[in-house]
Amino acid sequence: MNWIQVQTFAQGPHTYVGIEVFLPQKPESGERYPLLMLLHDHGEDRTQWMRQARLERYASREGVALALIDGNQSCFVNSVTGYAWGDYLTKELPEKLAGWFPISERAEDHWVMGVGTGGYGALMAVQNAPDCFAGAAAVNPVLDVSCLYGTDYEPNPGYIFGEKESLEEKGYALTGRFQVPVRIYCDQEHLESARKWAEKGQQVKVEALKTEDLLEEAFGAYVRGGREA
Amino acid sequence: MTLMQFHIQSEVLQMGMDVWALLPDNPHTIKEPLKTLWLLHGGSGDQTGWVRDTRIEAHAGKYENLAVILPHAYHSCFVDMAQGARFGEYIGKELPRIMRSLLPQLSLRREDNWISGFSNGGYGCLYIGLHNPETFGAIGAYGAGDKADADFSYRMQDKERMFGTGDIKQSPYCVRKLALELAESGRPLPIVDHGCGEYDPWRDMNELVRDTFRSIPGDPYRYRFTMISGDGHTNTCSDRLEEGFLKRMMEEE
């Protein structure tokens, strides 16, 4: 595949960001590819997915373009302090990527997948902007960000979500009821609580991961067929 | 501008290659195809040279529909080496195909595609531009002499590896010969913009190239020569000449 490291200005969070793009494009084929965006966990950066999973072997076989994006400590949502990482993910970035590269501009060809807090970000993206994606997936996602309060989590989650008591009111609580298909991949530690959470949900499926290569197993499953409704 | 570092596969070279590119920040707002500057590095440089050593991003960023592609050709003079890899074909033929496929906004029109470089890249853009006039509508060659006029007596191995054992003046590596032959060929001719610093140690070689273009009746290359006074074979010189080339191509042509 073609690997492209992009440094560009992101209007949402008012900062320069890195993006790792992988394109299966062969010269002169003229195709436009479906897009899967990958979101990292807290304490990581955009390179997490390429370091912890062999992405190219699956993506080239399936003809999918990948974008590994930075969210810093934002959990990929618009923060109460005014950094619009959520808008960057759902609107700004898909538009720019389809502008620069041979990537489909249609929402039905766009998917988002994340791990940990990035899993929360992926689910929030389709909860808030279901018109922008065909679906989402999450690996061991943080399903309730109220659990981050009162821990050693840096920076204080209040800078992203505001008061712990007003998460629901401010729209930072996941409802579990989605308008597009959602897959959640969990290891044993996270499986039970995710299944319980998904019981009252809509369009959400939970699957168990069997190996220690969580990201590779989940990524492989999602690009090979998990994206289908 | 947006900086992109490409890692691509070249079938011509049969190796993985690095290419840098500068693109507009907001591609989705641009409706017309992007004009494209193919910019070649100096003798011991690489794809990073222009970005690190000059203000190319500021110059190119003044225009909203311009892309800059920065390839790497190692120590090859950008030619199909007599004893080595075909870097001339890679940059002149394969790379435009690859980059236009990966960046579909790049213009396919020869009038919108310009190849340029400084020092070794100045010779390289003459060599590639004059061999591929259907692809490149303009050449911006700076600090650029003809390797056929260079003194290789103290580095014969370099000369033979790149240009073979014979007389370069009688070979397709001689850009002055190429310019004269192409002018007679009936093929489309690129605009040629040329220049060097007043104190360039190879100023005499630049002037031989200049005199060749000026000798062609009717000025079919719309040839311009710019001398930067008080400067030599330096990054400040290449910066000013490249700024002038972009101004000519984006504002005057």
CB A19 within 8 A of CB A100: no
Average pLDDT over residues A82-99: 97
Residues A165 and A74: their CA atoms lie apart, in Å, by 19
For residue B97, what is the nearest residue in chain A, using CA coordinates?
A27
For residue B21, the distance in angstroms to the closest alpha carbon of chain A comes to: 9
Q: With beta carbons under 8 A apart, name residues in chain A contacting B8.
A: 2
Buried b (16+ CB within 10 A) or exposed e, B197-207: beebebbebbb
Contact A2 B105 (CB under 8 A): no
Please check the confidence at residue A221 and state whether its pLDDT lies above 80.
yes
For A2, which of B3, B94, B102 is closest by C-beta distance? B102
3-class secondary-structure state, position B235: helix
Q: What's the mean per-residue pLDDT of chain B?
A: 97
What CATH number is attached to the domain comprising B214? 3.40.50.1820
Average pLDDT over residues A88-109: 97
Query: If pLDDT is split at 50, 70 and 90, which confidence band does A94 have?
Result: very high
Q: With beta carbons under 8 A apart, name residues in chain A contacting B103.
A: 100-101
**Domains in chain A, number:** 1
What CATH number is attached to the domain comprising A208? 3.40.50.1820
Query: If pLDDT is split at 50, 70 and 90, which confidence band does A225 have?
Result: confident
Of B46, B210, B50, B68, which Cα lies nearest the Cα of B144?
Answer: B210
Residue B215: CB atoms within 10 A of its CB come to 10
Contact B2 A4 (CB under 8 A): no
3-class secondary-structure state, position B76: coil
Q: With beta carbons under 8 A apart, name residues in chain B contacting A93.
A: none
Question: Residue holding tokens 């000025």?
Answer: B219
Query: If pLDDT is split at 50, 70 and 90, which confidence band does A66 have?
Result: very high
For residue A208, the distance in angstroms to the closest alpha carbon of chain B comes to: 35
Contact A2 B7 (CB under 8 A): yes
Q: Is A199 exposed, middle or buried (0-12, 13-18, 19+ CB in 10 A)?
A: exposed
pLDDT digits (tens, 9 = 90+) for A17-52: 999 999 998 877 889 999 999 999 999 999 999 999
Contact B25 A29 (CB under 8 A): no
Domain that holds residue B128: 2-252
- A166 interface with B at CB cutoff 8 Å: no
For B18, residues 6+ apart whose C-beta sits below 8 A from its C-beta are B5, B6, B7, B46, B47, B72
Q: What percent of chain B has pLDDT over 70?
A: 100
Beta strands (DSSP E) in chain B are 2-10, 15-23, 35-40, 66-71, 113-118, 138-142, 191-197, 224-228
**What is the separation, in whole angstroms, between the first and last Cα of chain B?**
23
Please check the confidence at residue B235 and state whether its pLDDT lies above 80.
yes
What pLDDT is attached to residue A45? 97
Contact B3 A7 (CB under 8 A): yes
Contact A101 B8 (CB under 8 A): no
**Domains in chain B, number:** 1
Choose, out of B7, B25, B28, the residue to mutate when testing the contact with A (most A CBs < 10 Å): B28
What pLDDT is attached to residue A27? 78
What pLDDT is attached to residue B44? 86
For A168, residues 6+ apart whose C-beta sits below 8 A from its C-beta are none
Please check the confidence at residue B63 and state whether its pLDDT lies above 90.
yes
What pLDDT is attached to residue A108? 97
For residue B103, the distance in angstroms to the closest alpha carbon of chain A comes to: 5
For residue B10, the distance in angstroms to the closest alpha carbon of chain A comes to: 10
What pLDDT is attached to residue A188? 97
Domain that holds residue A207: 2-226
For residue A3, what is the nearest residue in chain B, using CA coordinates?
B7
- B66 interface with A at CB cutoff 8 Å: no
Q: What percent of chain B has pLDDT over 90?
A: 99
- B94 interface with A at CB cutoff 8 Å: yes
pLDDT digits (tens, 9 = 90+) for B86-124: 999 999 999 999 999 999 999 999 999 999 999 999 999
Query: If pLDDT is split at 50, 70 and 90, which confidence band does A229 have?
Result: low
What pLDDT is attached to residue A25? 83
Choose, out of B4, B70, B103, the residue to mutate when testing the contact with A (most A CBs < 10 Å): B4
pLDDT digits (tens, 9 = 90+) for B3-52: 999 999 999 999 999 999 999 999 999 999 999 999 999 998 999 999 99
Query: If pLDDT is split at 50, 70 and 90, which confidence band does A128 have?
Result: very high
DSSP per residue over chain A, as a string? -EEEEEEEEETTTTEEEEEEEEE-PPTT----B-EEEEEPPTT--TTHHHHHS-HHHHHHHHT-EEEEE--TTSTTSB-TTS-BHHHIIIIIHHHHHHHHSSB---GGGEEEEEETHHHHHHHHHHHH-GGG-SEEEEES----GGGGTTSS-SS-THHHH--GGGTTTTT-S--SEEEEEEEEEE-HHHHHHHHHHHHT-EEEEEEE--SS-HHHHHHHHIIIIIT--
What pLDDT is attached to residue A226? 83
For residue A105, what is the nearest residue in chain B, using CA coordinates?
B28
Residues A175 and A124: their CA atoms lie apart, in Å, by 9
